[in-house]
Amino acid sequence: MKVLVTGAGGQLGGALQRCAPDFADLNAIDVDDVDLTDAAMLRARLAVEAPDLILNAAAYTAVDRAEEEEDVARAINSDAVGIMAEAMEETGGKLVHVSTDFVFDGAGARAYRPGDEPAPLSAYGRTKAEGEAHCRASDLLVRTAWVYEAGGANFVRTMLRLMKERGEVAVVADQIGSPTWATGLARTIWALVEREANGIFHHSDAGVASWYDFAVAIAEEGLALGLLDRLPTIRPITTADYPTPARRPAFSLLDCRATREAIGDAPVHWRENLRHMLREETRLG
């Protein structure tokens, strides 16, 4: 099977390549290979690649900057997805598109289910929800949240850097979700592909955390692995204490039960996967 991975240089794109099964004749492209804001260039590249399957891990993810660059975010997060879906419609192929918890408003009191109606709060969330709408019934849409990977640009590595530099960090404690190790997400996506799944699925690691809880765990696990030489003071703050251009959902827990049932595996707690990632970080130096 000819598989094209977009967003090859990102956290998930890299993980999808490392976890690729033997049946995948893989090619991976990134921004240096094709500009997703250039519709003609993207169509031409897809015609050359002629994949049976597209794994779209590319996205405009600068959440705050998207408030000022919504047109650019839309070109990547929505228009490009539509072009990929059209290309697969023409050839009989399939699109696997990755979306986000930011399509929800965070006003719910239970974990968001795959069938729940999107209600985004931000330009980033709006453009991702618009991208979802381009997916056909035969495609596979996977929503995730709070993604991190060793060597990537993410909350875990930012916290480790700040904890080394400062004796104290302040972290938002009133936004709730579940962290997601990109390697685990990649494995789930490939498992769904192998089972020829279509429709909407959710994947995040098991358990519940605030960003503050996540930071505390990063400090404790980082100290245990020698990534930190002391425990910093971690001060909980509210969203109001740390205003940002884009509104974030206060509650973005995803209901992943249907995904686990579909691929027949057990959920892994986010703290266990954090340890896996931090061990990789130690190997990377």
Query: Which of 95, 99, 97 is CA-nearest to residue 138?
Result: 95
Are 55 and 16 contacting, i.e. CB atoms less than 8 angstroms apart? yes
Secondary structure element (H or E) that encloses residue 54, with its range? strand 53-56
Which residues is 112 bridged to in the sheet? 254
Structure tokens given for 192: 């769904």
Query: Is 124 a catalytic site residue?
Result: yes
Structure tokens given for 93: 């192929």
Secondary structure element (H or E) that encloses residue 271, with its range? helix 270-284
Instruction: Give me the catalytic one of 124, 148, 212, 242.
Output: 124
Burial of 155 (0-12, 13-18, 19+ CB in 10 A): middle
Secondary structure element (H or E) that encloses residue 280, with its range? helix 270-284
Residue numbers annotated as active site: 124
